[in-house]
Chain A
Amino acid sequence: MTSLTIKDLHVSVETDDGARPILRGVDLTISSGETHALMGPNGSGKSTLAYAVAGHPRYDVTSGSITLDGVDVLEMSIDERARAGLFLAMQYPVEVPGVSVTNFLRTAATAVRGEAPKVRHWVKEVRETMDQLSMDPAFAERNVNEGFSGGEKKRSELLQLELLRPTIAILDEIDSGLDVDALKVVSDGINRVRATGETGVMLITHYTRILRYVKPDQVHVFAGGRIVERGGPELAEALEAEGYERYVGRDLASAGAN
């Protein structure tokens, strides 16, 4: 079992007006085989947490720690983190002009697996995974995320997740912009990954919709740059009914007290 441990994490984002603190002491542990949901209002810092774990250069860890089975993740470069088993499905996947999905996937798989996958196996593996995600094979020849619809981008993130088989996967709003059918396809993909028992999944989401298909073991409520409440799946139901209002209020109070 592998565990990602985040302790008292403080993160600032670089803006034109200087560093702006976003995360104010995040504590979270997630282990392979588990599924967590991280829910919170817009702007609360969920994506910032995801980026900080993945090592985006714009996000600066000012204090706290991130470790993977005790190994300091903050010391690793972005690509080392990925090769160590971390994966981030991005809320806004980036277009890479002139780089085909095929080329990208193969290069990534080669890097993560430590050797180039055998061509015949690989082609079959990609084709089957795309098929399970209801992706047109022609997709592979397109440039990474270029001109993809919102739903296509999310499927493409999931395709990468399934092919790269990380030990810890953070899925940042993988459910946004999906219609019901696509949500089902994407959820099935996540569940396939969970079924291996080898991947810990953190679903970042606003809505409980996806949690009907992907049952979380734990739910964390995120507000004002930190986790303000934890519970089981029932917490998600409560959030759906009541919204985030009371957490936002509480956060302002505690932020004022700091």
Chain B
Amino acid sequence: MTSDVPAVDRSERTRSLDPADFAIPLGREEEWRFTPIGQLRDLLTDDLDAPSGSGSVSLDVKAPNDVKVERVSHRDGRRDARLGAVGLPGDRVAALAFAGSDTATILTVPQDTQLDEPVVIRAHGNGTPGADFGHLLLHVEALSSAVVVLDHVGSATYADNLEIKVGDQGHLTVVTLLDWDVDAVHLSAHHIEVGRDARVVHVVVSLGGEVVRVTPEVTFAGPGGDVELLGLFFTDPGQHHEHRIFVDHSEPHCRSNVNYRGALIGERAHSVWIGDVLIRAGAVGTETYEINRNLLLSDGPRADSVPNLEIETGDVASAGHASVTGRLDDDQLFYLMARGIPEMEARRLVVTGFFAELRDRIGVPFVTDRLKSALETELERASAS
């Protein structure tokens, strides 16, 4: 399946801080057509007078001393100039989140600082009804390196903007773990700016929630940038996991590599992966590859997967995309079982193996360990059902 809407349209989409600049989505719009609009609850409110969060989500930040942590007011008129500088909201819910978050958290890793421990930010939803909003800016200044883990647990109806700015020759690994309770709804807009010769590894792990929708958008602030967008999701019955990636190559000699893998099981398990990559005329020498692989573990799930690569220059180094959705391989199961391994365990091995390559690529022990146990739990739940 290919999209009939070119990536360039995505780059020309309305960008605004005012939610009123966007119509309430009906579900027919290109960017909402896969999303279960009816399940977005208060995130679709038409009351925009003074949006304010329910306060259900609290942030707990654990950062090494070198990191500067600020909480800044975010109300109109008093908005910190750094907010919105990486990327402006590109849809109504993101704009609502921008307007509705009273305070924003800004983390700065000062220039030439190498963090030897990860920053761990935990968002906890206490289940209070009503929508809550968040805003987080991660700024890794030039020549610095950091690992940031954003953990999401509990229950909430939540929308947020995550702005990520990595300065020249900076190096950031940022992992978003979406381990919400089964009734959570979370729409998350990520804006990522990659500095000159900087490297960003952006990882999304979607496990929980009722509706999770993450929209990572990448821009380059100079040549030589390198971004790796990795995603793992395990979509259970009734869950909607949506990942919409947009990489906007406007600078020469940058590299992007998008690799998302998902396993789906059961009725109404739905995953959506959109990979929009745009290589603009000036982005000569670009290297890009995007792939989404989905494993259907039973009857019932639906995996929508739409790679979309648009090239406006005649001078790319390499560009490619792929999308593969299939069932568990009978021959692999047969091979393992023919060695005495019971079927459930054979399935577990194959599925774990399917994620292993990506899991190991993340290279953050804290995250890989957490992922191992999370996948174990998912697989146990899947085999019990």
Contacts and interface: CB of A to CB of B under 8 A. Distances in A.
Are A and B a genuine interacting pair, yes or no? yes
Interface of A: 54-58, 77-79, 81-83, 87-88, 90, 93-99, 103-104, 107-108, 111-112, 143-144, 160, 164
A57 B339 contact: no
Chain B interface SS verdict (over half):
helix
A93 B332 CA distance: 9
Contact of A96 (B330, B353, B355, B357): B353
Nearest to B346: A79
B310 interface: no
Contacts of B354: 97-98
Nearest to A95: B332
Interface of B: 329-332, 334-343, 345-346, 349-350, 352-357
Contacts of B329: 94
B341 A77 contact: no
Contact of B332 (A54, A94, A103, A107): A94
Q: Which has the most chain A C-beta neighbours within 10 Å: B331, B340, B346, B357?
A: B340
- Find the residue from B337, B354, B357 having the highest chain A CB count within 10 A: B337
B334 A57 contact: yes
23 contacts: A54-B338, A57-B330, A82-B338, A87-B338, A90-B338, A96-B349, A98-B353, A98-B354, A98-B356, A98-B357, A99-B336, A99-B352, A99-B353, A99-B356, A107-B336, A107-B345, A108-B336, A108-B339, A108-B341, A112-B339, A143-B353, A144-B335, A164-B339
Given A90-B335, A93-B335, A164 B340 contact: yes
Contacts of A93: 335
Given A96-B350, A98-B355, A99-B352, A78 B338 contact: yes
3 shortest A-B CB distances, which residue pairs?
A: A98-B353, A98-B356, A82-B340
A111 B353 contact: no
Contacts of A108: 336, 339-341
A94 B345 contact: no
B292 to A, nearest CB: 16
A30 to B, nearest CB: 18
Contacts of B345: 107, 111
